[in-house]
Structure 1
Amino acid sequence: MKRGHCSTCCEGAASYDREEAVNQTIERAKEILTRYDGPHCRIMEVCGTHTHEIFRQGIRRILPRQIELISGPGCPVCVTPVGYIDEAIWLALEKGATVCTFGDLVRVPGTEASLQTARGEGAAVKVVYTPLDAERYAAEHPDEEVVFLSVGFETTTPSACLAVRKAQQDGIRNFSLLTANKTMPGAYEAMKDSTDLFLYPGHVHAITGTGICEKLAEEGVSGVCAGFTASELLTALAVAVTRYQEGKPFFVNCYPRVVRPDGSPKAQSLVAAMMEPCDEEWRGIGIIPDSGMKLKESCQMYDARTRFQVPEMAGRANPACRCGQVLKGELLPTQCRVFGKACTPEHPVGACMVSSEGACSAWYLYGQNL
């Protein structure tokens, strides 16, 4: 008689084994971190999602004082300069454009107002989930000029390019991008003297690959690439402090299931075909050469600045806001005198309190019980 097996039982056993392995990894990483007794180690959480998840998972509470976590410039909404918000408001109020944007940007303060207050003055501001939603809206409303606020890093830039390509294919002529797309290598260079090592954002390097991290390690800048679950973050931090004690520069990819050395060649090719590097302003940091991405001349009809001849706008941040220093790891959000008082998620003074990836938002939600 031929014996079979129960697939349900086998799958259940495999699931149990995986869960057990994850639990063992978590416990081992926690042990390494809680028992760490090495030199002071300053780790920059480049990614705002890492900041929120480290808080949410309670990881900060188990770290000894020698391990210091600081915020970095990895929240795209947070590093978008005030002048960009002013440009968007100008397009909506002066040119009558329908501004399509991700939700976080609506409440970010400009020099005098936010898109939310401009909406109260009659501006057409529409929240969308993807750039393709904005392109679709433009196709369905040919009498409106539709501008998508294209912010983000290497992770989201390909989707903006896809929207422009779709508009080209569909013959849509009432759609454009107001770009503030940024790339991370320049920010790493700008921030490398502010930290002992980087906690690199896994989703960015899923697109770019690990080449820049390896190059920085050769130049003496250490870091680990991390995922976003408790297990992945604990493992990355444990690896980071273990290697840090060795006293030599290093890079470790702790997110190999997603991040490959060459990243996503298809996404890289799409962006290279439609965009080119440009100098870009980062809130709190200033202009970083070649750290931005703008549409190439072949796509200029989809560039809102060219299409509407947008005037240059420097923008002025509220002088009480310390977001710039928070984004450089120079101070904790709680050290800002308006944090939790004049500046709250309901009434934000700066972008870091608005964004779901912002450091001030994370400290407001989770950090007051530390």
Structure 2
Amino acid sequence: MMMQDITKNRTSERNEKQRKTAREIIEQYDGPPVRIMEVCGTHTHEIFRLGIRKLLPKQVELISGPGCPVCVTPVGFIDEAVWLALQAGVTVCTFGDLVRVPGTKMSLAGAREKGAKIQIVYSPADAEKYARLHPEEQVVFLSVGFETTTPSSCLSVKKAKEEQLENYSILTANKTMPGAYEALKGSADVFLYPGHVNAITGTALCESLTKEGVSGVVAGFTAKELLTALAVSLKRYQEGKPFFVNCYPRVVTAEGSKEAQRLVDELMESCDSEWRGLGVIPDSGMKLRKEWEMFDARVKYQIPEMEGRANPACRCGDVLQGKCKPSDCKVFGKVCTPQHPVGACMVSNEGACSAYFMYGV
């Protein structure tokens, strides 16, 4: 026990020294102005929660990006879900964040008030289990997310096929990050890449983007990891050349998760996809392959094409592109609050607007 305590103390001391070093680099930065984009919404919230923004010199600006899956999901997808719930009479299984995201006319919460059956779940496996336990109901899971969560949706479909569930399907809004990085080129000086996405995809894409002049670092989520990533960003930015650094090596490898990649490739293929604020990005979405389309809700229920219309007062699209801060929006904190959201960025637990509101910016 004595040896374990000594080792633990030494590790703690080493981590604290690294934190101090990173903090000093950040606080003492006297280089050129730099804009760093927090691609991931969780990074935005953690940086606020940990008070890291208060350490930044005035020439270092953090801006939000499109790394919140609920936020980038377009209004038309919500309209499709509402149509399924009210017109097709299915039971919609969804993560809680999506329930209050405004559609063109109403949210899923509004549909529930009209009698629709909306079931909150915590994973696609929960939705598949609900379908198995309720064979009298047609069940659709709203499959929203990036590379991190897409494999779990695929697993639920695979299990549904094994169990011969004819009452289960998914409505996909799954997206991949490469197209977004391409669309955002020039919007920031450095990307703070989402560690959990790179844990699946690996680092090849981020490394290749340096050839196009795009710089970035993969960041974890602890105070030490975030401070390190920001410090590395500032030191490398001053060198004046495009760079990539994996600052999350304990989780992220060059090749990523081959097993997850194989699973997704077996069930899904790329497709054009609409991103809130970014428009339609070619090959940035995922849909079930033809041999799995019996589990595709759009095919199964012949959902009519939806052209969603966002509230014109909402600036979520600009926030997701780093064009403005949430506090620049005229309805932020006034008409638009977490209790009465006008846009998705105020609803989601990973949304930039909810972070700015929560931490009083």
Q: TM-score range by the shorter chain?
A: over 0.9
1:174 aligns with 2:164: no
Measure the CA separation in 2 of the matches of 1:349 and 1:12: 52
Which consecutive residues of structure 1, in runs of 5 or more, have no partner in the other structure?
A: 1-7
1:239-318 equivalences in 2 (<5 Å): 239-318=232-311
**Secondary structure in structure 1 of the residue aligned to 2:144:** strand
Structure 2 portions without partners, runs of 5+: none
Distance across 1 between alignment mates of 2:221 and 2:155:
26
Distance 1:34 1:307 in 2: 56
- Alignment match, 1:199: 192
Q: Kindly provide the CA deviation profile for residues 70-101 of structure 1, in whole angstroms up to 9, marking residues without a partner as x.
A: 00000000000000000000000001100000
Identity of aligned residues (%): 67
Q: Secondary structure at the match of 1:24?
A: helix
Residue of 140, 161, 169 corresponding to 2:154: 161
Q: Secondary structure at the match of 1:192?
A: coil
CA distance in 2, matches of 1:360, 1:278: 29
- Matches of 2:349 and 2:3, distance apart in 1: 40
Match of residue 21, structure 1, among 7, 14, 28? 14
Q: Is the counterpart of residue 357 in structure 1 residue 350 in structure 2?
A: yes
Separation in structure 1 between the aligned mates of residue 37 and residue 235 of structure 2, nearest angstrom: 16
> Match of 1:322?
315
Task: Determine the C-alpha separation between the residues in 2 that align with 1:179 and 1:15.
Answer: 45
Choose from 126, 136, 141 the match for 1:143.
136
Pairing partner for 1:56 from 49, 52, 55:
49
Distance 2:95 2:317 in 1: 22
Helix, strand or coil: the match of 1:163? helix
Partner residue in 2 for 1:5: none
Per-residue deviation, residues 32-64 of structure 1 (Å, max 9, x unmatched)? 000000000110100000000000000000100
- TM-score, L = length of structure 2: 0.99
Q: Distance in 2 between matches of 1:52 and 1:140?
A: 37
* Superposition map of 1:339-358 within 5 A: 339-358=332-351
Give, in angstroms, the shift of residue 146 of structure 1. 0.2
| Consecutive aligned runs of 4 or more in structure 1 exceeding 4 Å deviation | none
Across the two proteins, how many residue pairs are aligned to each other?
A: 361
Q: Per-residue deviation at 1:367? A: 4.1
Post-superposition offset of 1:192 = 1.3
Aligned to 2:228: 235
In 2, distance between residues paired with 1:102 and 1:145? Answer: 18
How far residue 15 of structure 1 moved from its aligned partner, in angstroms, is 1.3
Any idea what SS the aligned residue of 1:194 has?
A: coil
Work out the CA distance in 2 between the residues paired with 1:220 and 1:228.
26
Alignment-mate amino acid for residue 65 of structure 2: G
Whether the 8 Å contact between 1:55 and 1:367 is mirrored in structure 2 is: no
Residue 179 (structure 2) aligns with: 186
- CA distance in 1 between counterparts of 2:11 and 2:162 reads 45
User: What is the TM-score with the length of structure 1 in the denominator?
Assistant: 0.97
* Counterpart for residue 113 of structure 1: 106
Looking at structure 1, the residues matched to 344 and 221 of structure 2 have their Cα atoms a distance apart, in angstroms, of: 23
Q: Which residue in the other structure is 2:84 paired with?
A: 91
Deviations 1:290-346 (A, max 9, x none): 000000001000000000000000110011100000000000000000000000001
Letter in 1 for 2:97: D
Q: Deviations over 1:262-298 (max 9, x none)?
A: 0000000000000000000000110000000000001
1:230-252 CA distance string (max 9 Å, x none): 00000000000000000011000
